[in-house]
Every structure is written in structure tokens, then in C-alpha cells.
Amino acid sequence: MPVIEKKRTRDLPQINERIRFPKIRVIDSEGAQLGIMAPLEALRLAEEKELDLVLLSDKADPPVCRIMDYGKYKFEQEKKAREARKKQHTADVKEVKMRYKIEEHDYNVRVKQAERFLKDGDKVKATVMFRGREIQHSDLAETLLNRMATDLEPFGEIQQAPKKEGRNMMMLISPKK
């Protein structure tokens, strides 16, 4: 038999009869202050207007309540939260891979790619891969990464200087604020 959990009263929104304070400051639906009164009196005013009494701030002294349509208020709060989540952009790390013997046009394509990533607000990890004995030419790879850093200077700044990691040399560039 499944256990039915009761919702705790502190988890529920404090509206109407759930407001348990001796005195509250009341604001009407137009935003005008009605003063400090007992919750029952404020609830009577709200019911006359066919609205709800909603606790806005229990930290204030006395707590602040507003007479409003709770369903509409809840919808607006959820809408604001959705908009805030939509506007949040997490900076991803995009990688641009190449070899140290890269041709000029291929290099320019990688720079344009990295530029686009930086403009979108993402970090760029530029990686030069070595095969076989190519690892002996790590100085050429470092020169290539430094050249890329200067080409991308208007769009980003070096977060991590070129360094060797196994059979690769990598550098991290973050977008300018």
C-alpha cells in the first residue's frame, strides 16, 4: 500500500487562512497601503473583492500582505522564472583542433570558427595534435597557438597559456566581457 505524504503547511504558499500573524501590513490590488490590521479583517476585504490575501514578505515587521488574484500572481512568478532560465547561458568549452603543419586557409577557417564561438560567449580550447615524431616540433605548435591568440585578441583573452598535455598542446581562450 503506497504511503501518502501530507504536504507540510510550511511548504504551501501563505495565502488567505494560512497567514498566521497577529497583525499584518496590507496593500490593496492597486498598490495603495491600507495600513496595519488583523489578518481576518484583511481576508474579509479580499473576499469582498473576490481576490486572495497573499503574504509577500514575512521578514518585515509587521509582515506585508497584498490583496490580489493568487492564480495570476503564481502564473506571473512562473513566467518570470522561465524567462530567467531562458536568458541564462552557460559557457561551454568548444574545441578547435589542428596540426602544426596546417595550411593557411585551413588555419583561417579554424580562427573564424573560434571567433564565432567567442562571440557566442563560449570558451575555446585550441588544440594542436602531434603524430609520431612530430612531438619534437612542439616549439612550432606553440608559435602557432600564440599566433592564434593574437588573431583572436579582439574577441577573447588567454585563460590558459599553451601547454603540452600528452601528445597534444592546448591553450584555453575565454570571451571578453
Domains of the chain are: 16-77 (3.10.20.80), 93-175 (3.30.110.10)
Query: What pLDDT tens digit does each residue of the chain (177 aa) get?
Result: 566 655 555 566 778 888 888 999 999 888 889 899 998 998 998 999 889 998 888 888 889 999 999 889 899 989 999 988 888 777 789 999 999 999 999 999 999 999 999 998 899 999 999 999 988 988 999 999 999 999 999 999 999 999 999 999 999 999 987
All three cell numbers of 25, joined, read 501590513
